[in-house]
Amino acid sequence: MKPKYSYELNFVSLALGKHEFNYKVDSSLFEAQDVSEFEDVNCSVIVYLEKQERLMKLDFEIDGFVKTLCDRCGESLQIMVSTENNLVVRFAEESDFTDDEVVFLSETASVIDLGQFIYEYVMVGLPTRRVHEEGKCDPAVLQYLEEVSEKEEDADN
């Protein structure tokens, strides 16, 4: 499956200097990466791009939310997303140099697909434990879980 929106940025026609781009993110970006844990995703991305002679600096600002299931009660949980990430794109044929914040593109490249970066920035920005705030879980589910664990304790005795 392909993402609903395109994140391909044609930079070759851009003048040197600063530019700004806006993108929308929905769940299709994650489904395209075989991530199906989100019921809903709604984020907006602003990319501030500075084009220089031999490199480009990109600042990503991602804001919005994802909806997934709570690790504790299994009900729908909305997590706010608010991240800032920086990326430097260098035009060179080097490929053995690796760095989270620097990527190399061929000098003949004209387009960069930002989808992979946006996907990673959102994923890295999410908490590893995804639960409702204390007291906000579905009480019926919590009560059920408590009863099940009590029965298990009784069975052990």
Chain positions contacting Zn ion, by CB under 5 A: 70, 72-73, 132, 137
CB of 25 to Zn ion, least distance (A): 24
Nearer to Zn ion, 44 or 78 (CB): 78
- Give dist(CA 39, CA 46) in Å, integer: 23
Nearer to Zn ion, 58 or 137 (CB): 137
What is the three-class DSSP state of 14? coil
Rg (C-alpha) for the chain, rounded Å, is 21
CB of 148 to Zn ion, least distance (A): 16
CB of 8 to Zn ion, least distance (A): 38
Return the beta strands (E) in the chain as ranges. 8-10, 17-25, 40-51, 55-69, 76-91, 102-105, 111-113
Nearer to Zn ion, 90 or 132 (CB): 132
